[in-house]
Chains A and B, each alone.
Chain A
Amino acid sequence: AQSVTQLGSHVSVSEGALVLLRCNYSSSVPPYLFWYVQYPNQGLQLLLKYTTGATLVKGINGFEAEFKKSETSFHLTKPSAHMSDAAEYFCAVKGGGYQKVTFGTGTKLQVIP
Chain B
Amino acid sequence: DVKVTQSSRYLVKRTGEKVFLECVQDMDHENMFWYRQDPGLGLRLIYFSYDVKMKEKGDIPEGYSVSREKKERFSLILESASTNQTSMYLCASSSAQGVYEQYFGPGTRLTVT
Given A100-B48, A100-B58, residue A43 in contact with residue B100 (CB < 8 A) = no
For residue A36, which residues in chain B have a CB less than 8 angstroms away from its CB? 104
Distance A41 CA – B104 CA, assembled complex (angstroms): 12
Residues in chain A within 8 A of chain B (CB atoms): 9, 32, 34, 36, 41-46, 49, 51, 90, 94, 99-101, 103-106
- Whether the Cβ atoms of A105 and B107 lie closer than 8 Å is no
Distance A101 CA – B92 CA, assembled complex (angstroms): 11
- Whether the Cβ atoms of B42 and A105 lie closer than 8 Å is yes
Given A9-B40, A32-B100, residue A100 in contact with residue B45 (CB < 8 A) = yes
Given A9-B40, A43-B107, A105-B40, residue A51 in contact with residue B99 (CB < 8 A) = yes
* Of the residues B31, B45, B92, B106, contact of A42 by C-beta under 8 Å: B106
Q: When each residue 38-57 of chain B gets 1 if its CB lies under 8 Å from chain A and 0 otherwise, what string results?
A: 00111101001010000000
- Whether the Cβ atoms of B99 and A103 lie closer than 8 Å is no
Residues in chain B within 8 A of chain A (CB atoms): 4, 9, 31, 35, 40-43, 45, 48, 50, 58, 90, 92, 94, 96, 99-107, 109
- Chain B nearest CB from A91 CB (Å) reads 10
Distance A103 CA – B103 CA, assembled complex (angstroms): 14
In the complex, the 8 A-B pairs of residues with the closest C-beta atoms, listed nearest first: A43-B104, A105-B42, A103-B43, A44-B104, A43-B106, A103-B42, A106-B42, A43-B105
7 extra interface residue pairs, beta carbon distance < 8 Å, beyond A9-B40, A32-B100, A49-B101: A32-B99, A43-B92, A43-B104, A44-B104, A94-B99, A99-B50, A103-B43
- Chain A nearest CB from B112 CB (Å) reads 19
- Whether the Cβ atoms of A44 and B40 lie closer than 8 Å is no
For residue A101, which residues in chain B have a CB less than 8 angstroms away from its CB? 94, 100, 102
For residue B96, which residues in chain A have a CB less than 8 angstroms away from its CB? 99
Distance A90 CA – B43 CA, assembled complex (angstroms): 9
- Whether the Cβ atoms of B4 and A43 lie closer than 8 Å is yes
- Whether the Cβ atoms of B43 and A46 lie closer than 8 Å is no
